[in-house]
């Protein structure tokens, strides 16, 4: 992940507080703005001005800001160190690791068997 991404995510969260931000939080926003490279921050600011979500999480190949599917090459680039932006809405993309498929637990298997038994009993009558 690019080093600017966690900073931009934090900045987005802090800015969402608006007037409710504490003096410490305002200071942190100023610090973050000083740490992020100028062109990266300029693009971020443009998105904010255009009322777009500047940082979007990607889940299952879908941009969390505009909800459109990203091109395959963008999804394949998820693990490199570059900044990636959504081709559609321009949001900085944060690639969330795909959740591992959950294996059925003994409890969920028992619950499923119980449901099936109920259905069988209902059908039999």
- Binding residue for Zn ion (CB under 5 A) from 8, 58, 86, 94? 86
Q: Which pair of tokens denotes residue 6?
A: 């966690």
Q: Is 65 in the site for Zn ion (CB under 5 A)?
A: yes
Closer residue to Zn ion in complex, CB, 36/52: 52
Q: Is 66 in the site for Zn ion (CB under 5 A)?
A: yes
Rounded Cα distance between 104 and 91, Å, is 36
Rounded Cα distance between 112 and 123, Å, is 16
Rounded Cα distance between 108 and 120, Å, is 18
Q: Is 7 in the site for Zn ion (CB under 5 A)?
A: no
Q: How far is the CB of 16 from Zn ion (least distance, A)?
A: 18
Tell me how many residues contact Zn ion (CB under 5 A). 7
User: 100: Cβ–Cβ under 8 A, 6 or more apart, which residues?
Assistant: none
Footprint on this chain of Zn ion (rule: CB under 5 A): 63, 65-66, 86, 88-89, 91
């Amino acid at each position: 992940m690019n080093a600017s991404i966690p900073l931009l995510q934090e900045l987005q969260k802090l800015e969402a507080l608006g007037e409710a931000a504490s003096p410490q939080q305002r200071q942190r926003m100023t610090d973050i703005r000083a740490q992020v490279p100028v062109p990266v921050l300029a693009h971020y600011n443009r998105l904010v001005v255009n009322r777009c979500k500047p940082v979007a999480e990607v889940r299952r190949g879908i941009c969390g800001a505009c909800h459109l599917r990203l091109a395959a090459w963008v999804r394949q680039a998820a693990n490199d160190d570059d900044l990636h932006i959504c081709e559609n809405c321009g949001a900085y993309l944060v690639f969330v690791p795909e959740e591992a498929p959950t294996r059925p637990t003994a409890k969920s298997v028992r619950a499923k068997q119980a449901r099936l038994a109920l259905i069988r009993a209902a059908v039999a009558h």
